[in-house]
Copies of this chain bind each other. A is one copy, B any other.
Amino acid sequence: MSQAASSAAASPEALLHMGRDVLARQPFSVLIGAELAVLAPGHCELQVPITDRVKQQNGFVHGGVVSYAADNALTYAGGSALGAAVVTSEFKINYVRPAVGERLIARAHVEHAGRTQAVCRCEVFVLDRGVEKLCALAQGTIAALPKND
């Protein structure tokens, strides 16, 4: 279960800083070199540099890494809108093209946010010699964790 903490009341700089701090404390995200490029209320862009370690046997980015990028971007987008610690409840992903290139770019945005959950969508692109190509589309539910105070 992915999890991110953020606050909708934070300044843009503080929000991105907070998001990057969470990412830096996710050993798996560090392992594959994920970077949080953008985090704004209801919107997130997460990138993964494409190195050999994230590939499968044909030289494409492994589907599990594409789904990681979608999952984590959805979580950040939802968290930025809900202003709370959140988890991804569920998501679905459609793969439309093998990911070959230099960089994976997952952009997620909130489509509808209620009090306790947000429905978000994400598009995953691969940057291939300067051109972005759509690789996958995702849609899912991000839920705020109950406050313990």
List chain A positions with a Cβ less than 8 A from chain B: 1-3, 22, 25-29, 31-32, 52-58, 60, 62-69, 71-72, 75, 87-99, 111-112, 114, 119, 121, 123, 134-135, 137, 139-141
Q: Contact between A94 and B90 (Cβ–Cβ < 8 Å)? A: yes
What are the residues of chain B within 8 A of A32 when measuring CB–CB? 28, 31
Distance between A122 CB and nearest chain B CB, rounded to angstroms = 11
A134 vs B94: C-alpha distance when bound (angstroms): 23
Given known contacts A25-B57, A111-B137, A112-B96, A71 and B63 CB-to-CB distance under 8 angstroms: yes
B66 near A141: Cβ-Cβ < 8 Å: no
Per the bound structure, the CA–CA distance linking A54 and B57 in Å amounts to 21
What is the distance, in angstroms, from A48's C-beta to the closest C-beta of chain B?
A: 10
Q: Is the CB of A2 within 8 A of B139?
A: no
